[in-house]
Amino acid sequence: MPDVLLVGDWHLASVTAAGLTQLGYTVHLRPDAIETPDPAAFDALARGQRCGHEPEIAEILTAARKNGTLRPVLDEAQTAQILRHADMSFVVHDTGTAADGCVTDSRPLSALHRLLANHQRHGPVVVASQLRAGTCDVALTTAGLPADSPDLIHIPENLRLGRAVTDFLHPIRTVVGCNSPHPPQAVRDVLDRLGSRNELHMRLVEAELVKHGTNAYLALCITLANELGAVAGHLGADPLTVLDGVRADERVAARAPLRPGEAYAGATLHRDVRALMEHGEPIGRDGLFRAVAQANAVHALAPLAALDKHLEGVAGRTVCLLGLTYKPGVSTLRDSAALRLADELHAQGARVTAYDPIAEAADLHDLHRCTTFTEAAADADCVVLTVEHPAFTQPAFFKSATPRNTLLLRLTGAERRSRVPTPNGWKSVDLWNH
């Protein structure tokens, strides 16, 4: 059974460890966590507790730990020992960012440099972490390796929260960055086990740019839908009808996210739009990416204007946020648009309550998080649907809630495309037709 070393933490490390054990690898995991002792970090990850409630992960990792195919690596001596015989080593950090997409996490780069510089390392280094374009080439130079070295491979992660295991084990597209025309056999072996439907080979910097470009395209589609939707609503047109007509053109991707709804959130899109903005600035090609980021920021504040209109001012009002995470079915609060909205509402004198059945525990400062929706909505002047968790889609969900004002503001899009039904007697509005 082939052995691999994983250095990383959180969602990407959890999914990669689970996926590789499913493919028949023995995974030696170095849980390079922030402010968490290595044994505690490994234990939490191996229990599936560091992956944002990603389906299937806990069961796979628990079974792998029990049968010995998931093993802890808890210090530098162990790391060096594993490197001497491991077929590959992986850098699998989720790259931390600030709200504006600026990278704040130095761990992926540090891990990459440490692994490449280890001259006793047996196998190649595979980086799945999100990297700024040009990072891999610089890492080769820093390690004293030739520019066309086969020792470094970049396979940028392409995992969607909520279905990451399926994405890992059955990839529709796999991008393989390597400056050598002949990647190592160990990498070829794992690619064969994955059986991607579309395997694309390119240089390291090209693979890094593919990741940036993919996410920038998604951000552009989301922003276009929201901006066009706002113009349509202003002119008395139905935004969904307009966007359906746009999508019907065969030149427009059928699955492009062209649906007016919430502003894009999550660290991934912000990070890659910012990366292209900064790479483009020296050559005067930052304008598009800067405009996308600015338009998204404007749209993220649109709920404030809608609430101000419907409530005749938000000062002194109670607003209940239904959902806190940035995506349905996941627990992470990383770059949560709902939390930013809560901060803005509080700054304008509103009281903010919230209910989210799966969001991770966190210090939410001036936001009052309730254990039930009934409690959160009790004195609300408006309930704001920020994310459509499965629990909210049940017809009986709203029955026990008795807010002061039965007004439901939908940030997730129009009611006729929503999975969350409007309760009898409530008024439903959105940002486009209100």
Q: Which helix (H) or strand (E) holds 200?
A: strand 199-202
| Structural domain total, the chain | 3
d(CA 297, CA 263): 8
Among residues 266, 298, 330, the one where a domain terminates is 298
Report pLDDT for 196. 85
- Same-domain pairing of 184 and 71: yes
**Across the chain, how many H-helices and E-strands are there?**
15, 14
Give the CATH number of the domain where residue 263 resides: 1.10.1040.10
Please give the distance of CA 319 from its chain centroid, rounded to a whole number.
Answer: 27
- Same-domain pairing of 135 and 16: yes
Domain that holds residue 119: 3-202
Among residues 235, 269, 298, the one where a domain terminates is 298
Q: Which residues pair with 90 in a beta bridge?
A: 6, 126
Residue ranges for the chain with pLDDT beneath 50: none
Residue 213 in any domain: the answer is no
Does the predicted TM-score (pTM) go above 0.85? Answer: yes
Phi and psi at 292, nearest 5°, equal -60, -45
Report pLDDT for 434. 56
User: What's the sign of the alpha-carbon dihedral 356, 357, 360, 365?
Assistant: positive
- Tokens representing residue 434 in the block: 């209100």
d(CA 380, CA 398): 13
Q: Which amino acid is at 368?
A: H
d(CA 393, CA 328): 11
Report pLDDT for 166. 94
- Closest to 239 in 3D by CA, of 397, 104, 417: 417
Residue 343 in any domain: the answer is yes
- Same-domain pairing of 162 and 15: yes
Tell me the per-residue pLDDT of 105-154, one tens digit each, with 9 for 90 and over.
889 999 999 999 998 999 999 999 999 999 999 999 999 999 999 999 99
Q: Which helix (H) or strand (E) holds 109?
A: helix 107-117
Phi and psi at 97, nearest 5°, equal -135, 160
